Chain A
Amino acid sequence: MNILEIKHLTKKFGDFIAVDDMSLTVGEGEIFGFLGSNGAGKSTTINMISGLLRKNNGSIKMLGKETNKHPIFIKKHIGLVPQELAIYEDLTAYENVSFFAGLYGLRGEKLRSRTIEALEFVGLAEKHKSYPKSFSGGMKRRLNIACAIAHQPKLIIMDEPTVGIDPQSRKYILQSVQKLNEMGCTIIYTSHYMEEVEEICTKIAIIDHGKIIADGTKEQLKSLITDSKLIYIDVKDTDHVDIDAIKAIPGVANVTLAENTIQIHTELGANNLNQIISYFIENKIEIRTLDEKEPNLETVFLTLTGRTLRDA
C-alpha cells in the first residue's frame, strides 16, 4: 500500500521553480531517501507534504487522502523532524517532548508514558530533567527527533537530521531510523550525505532542480549507470596469469592486462571476489594490492547531473 502519493507537484517562488512537476509514491514500510544537493527542492517538497507550505499545483495524497483537505488527519499521522532545531531551550527535555506530544492531543497517563518512551528511544531518558542548553549538538538533534515521534506517527519525515553533528550521534540517529522502520514506521529521509542514504534507505529518489531525475532501490539506480564493477589486482609478475581461466569465473565479463595490473570487469552482485582471489592463491601468483571500484550513489548523481552532491 502506498502511504504517500505525489502527482505533478509544483511550487514556484516568484519566477524561481523550486519543485517542478514532481511525481512519486512512497510505499508503506519504506525508508525513502531524498538525495540531492542544497537547493534541489528537498525541503520545499517536505514542507508541502507536511502542510507548512502551500503548493502551486499538483496533488499530495497521504493514506489516500488529499493533504490540503484533511489537514488534521494528515498532521496526526506525520512526525516532522525539521532541519532547524525546533526545541525550547528553557524547557527541560521531558517538558519539550511532553509539550509537542500534547499538541497532538495526548493527555494524562498516555502523554506521560509516550513521552518517556520517546526519550528512551533516543537515549535521553536519563537526561530528561536537563535543559537543552547543556546538550551537545547531537543530543539536541535526538531531542528534536523525540519531539516528533512521541505521538507515534505512521510517517516520519526527517529533513537533514544529521547536519553538523558528531559521528557518534550520527550513528545513533541512523540506527534509530532503522529501528523506527522495524517498528512499522515509514520514513522519508532527506540528506545530501550520499553514504547515509546508501546505508539505510530502501528506496531513493535523486532530486535535482526540483525534479526527480531517477528513483528506485540503490541497486536499480546504480544499474542505470552500469552493471559491472572493476577489480584491479596488482601482481608481482603476470607471466603465469591465464586470462581465460579468470574469464571462466562466473560473473567475470572481461579481463585486461596492463603491465602488472590485471583489470577485471565483473557483474555487480556476482560475489565472486573470493573465487578470483583463490585463483591467484592456487596458482601461486603473489598479489601485491587489490582495489575494487564499485559505482556508488555519488557516481550515479555525478553521472546523471554532471555535478557532485556537495556543489551548492
Chain B
Amino acid sequence: MSKLILIFFIMLTFLYAAAPNLAWGILFLLLYISLNITIHLLKQRYIVSLFLLVSVTITLIACVQANPIFILLMPLSILELCQLWTKKTIIPIVFAISPVFYIQQELQAVFLLVAIYTITIFTFEKYNEQKHVKNEQQLDWMRNTNQKLIKQIHENDTYLKQSAYMFRLEERNRISQQIHDDVGHAITGALIQMEASKRMLHVDKEKAEELLQNAIGITQEGIEHIRLTLKNMKPSTEQVGINRLKLIIDEFTAKHDKQTILTYDGDIDQVNAFQWEVIQKNTTEALTNTMKYAENSTQIAVNVIVLNKLVKVEVKDNGAGAERFEKGLGIIGMEERSASMGGQVIVDGTNGFSVTTLLPLQSN
C-alpha cells in the first residue's frame, strides 16, 4: 500500500517537473511495479532477495538515468530486504536512512521524511502481522480444544447410554435365566403333579388330594420366586462400581509384585457411574505410575472415602516418593478427567507418592 502511494507521489512529481527523460522514467516505474508484484508470488528467500536486489538496482539506475526522485523508493526495498535476513529492527532502519548522505541536498529533507514514514508504516505493519498470526494461532488452538471437549461430552453421553443398555441386557439375561431355572421348573413340576392327581381322582381320592396339595405348594414357591426375582431386579451401582475397582486392583496384584489393598468408607451408593469411570481410570493410571516410577515400593493403598459432599480416592505407595516430578501426560489426563466432573487431583511426593482424586458428589 505504502509502495503504491510512493509510486503515485513520484509519478506526480515526475510529471509536474516535466522531466526530460519521461519515457525512461515510465519504463523504470513499470519495471519496478512488475518486479514488486512478482515478489509476492515467490516463496523462496533467496529468490525474493534477488528480486529485491534487482529492484534496488533499478531504483539506482533510475536515479541516475531519469530523475533523482526515484531514490524515495529505496528505503522500503532496503527494509524488505533486511527484514528477510535479520530480526533486529535497528539494522534495517540504519540501512534505510543511510542513502541520505549520498543524495542531493534539496532532496534530503523529502527523503528523510519519506524514509521515516516508510519505516513507521513498515514496522507497524510487521507488528500487526505478527499479532494477527498469533491471534490466528490462538483461535486455532481454541477451536481444537473446543472440538476435543465436544467430543468428550459426546463420548460421555455414549458411555452413559451404553452402560444403561448393558445394564438392561444383563438384567434381561438374569431374569430369563431365573425364570428358566426356578419358575419354569416349578410350573412343570406342578403340572406333572396335577396331571397325576387328575388320573388318581377316581381311583384313590386321598392320594389325589395329596398330589394336588403338592402342586399348590410348588406353585406357591414359584410365585415367591417370581417375587424375589423382580425384587432383585436392580443391582445397585455401588456393586458395579466398587466391584469393578476391586477387580482392577486384583488383576494388578496378580500381575505385579506389590501388595495392593483397597479400603472404602462412607455411603458408596452416592457415587454415580460417571464418577466411577473417572475413579477407575485414575486408579489404573496411578497404579501404572507406581509400577513405572516407584520401584522400591512394596505396598500400595487405594482408599475410597465418601464424605458429605465429595468423594476422595487416594492411591498411595510406600516408596521413596519424589520432591520434584515432571507432570507427564498421565497426570494431565487424570486432571482433565477429574476437571470434567468438577474435581481436583492432588499429586504429592513428600511422603511416598500419592495421587488423590477429589470429585464433588451431585447434590440430590
Contacts and interface: CB of A to CB of B under 8 A. Distances in A.
B344 A305 contact: no
B350 A208 contact: no
B310 A224 contact: yes
Nearest to B339: A21
A58 to B, nearest CB: 14
Interface in A216-233: 223-227
B346 A17 contact: no
Contacts of A226: 307-308
B324 A303 contact: no
A311 interface: yes
Contacts of B314: 306
Interface residues of A, number: 21
A281 B305 CA distance: 38
Contacts of A15: 324, 326
Secondary structure class of chain B's binding surface, majority of residues: strand
A223 B327 CA distance: 31
B312 A209 contact: no
A211 B312 CA distance: 16
Interface string B238-254: 00000000000000000
Given A15-B326, A16-B324, A305 B307 contact: no
B308 A225 contact: yes
Nearest to B314: A306
Given A224-B308, A226-B308, A213 B346 contact: yes
Contacts of A209: 346-348
B308 A208 contact: no
A250 B316 CA distance: 41
A106 interface: no
A111 B339 CA distance: 49
A211 B346 contact: yes
Interface residues of B, number: 20
B150 to A, nearest CB: 20
A200 interface: no
Nearest to A225: B307
B227 interface: no
A288 interface: no
Contact of B348 (A17, A212, A223, A305): A305
A304 B358 contact: yes
A307 interface: yes
B86 to A, nearest CB: 27
B77 interface: no
Given A209-B346, A209-B348, A223 B356 contact: no
Contacts of B275: none
A208 B349 CA distance: 12
B308 A17 contact: no
Contacts of B290: none
Contact of A223 (B309, B350, B351, B358): B309
Contacts of B358: 213-214, 304
Contacts of B260: none
Interface in B314-364: 314, 316, 324, 326-327, 344, 346-348, 350-351, 354, 356, 358
Secondary structure class of chain A's binding surface, majority of residues: mixed
Contact of B312 (A16, A212, A227, A304): A304
B308 A213 contact: no
B348 A307 contact: yes
A229 B350 CA distance: 31
Contact of B354 (A213, A225, A306, A312): A306
A238 B348 CA distance: 47
A266 B49 CA distance: 83
- Looking at B308, B310, B324, B350, the one whose CB has the most chain A CB atoms below 10 A away is B308
Given A15-B326, A305-B356, A306-B314, A227 B348 contact: no
Contacts of A304: 312, 346, 356, 358
B37 to A, nearest CB: 40
Given A17-B327, A223-B308, A225-B307, A306 B350 contact: no
Given A17-B327, A226-B307, A303 B348 contact: no
A276 to B, nearest CB: 22
A214 to B, nearest CB: 8
A304 B308 CA distance: 12
Contacts of A208: 346, 348
Nearest to B327: A17
Nearest to B361: A224
Interface of A: 15-17, 208-209, 211-214, 223-227, 303-307, 311-312
Q: Which are the 10 A-B pairs with shortest beta-carbon distances?
A: A224-B309, A226-B308, A225-B307, A15-B326, A227-B308, A213-B344, A224-B310, A208-B346, A16-B324, A225-B308
12 contacts: A16-B324, A208-B348, A209-B346, A211-B346, A212-B344, A213-B358, A223-B309, A224-B308, A303-B305, A304-B358, A306-B346, A311-B350
Given A209-B346, A304-B312, 18 more contacts: A15-B326, A16-B324, A17-B327, A209-B347, A212-B344, A213-B344, A214-B358, A224-B308, A225-B307, A225-B308, A225-B309, A303-B312, A306-B314, A306-B316, A306-B346, A306-B348, A306-B356, A312-B350
Interface of B: 305, 307-310, 312, 314, 316, 324, 326-327, 344, 346-348, 350-351, 354, 356, 358
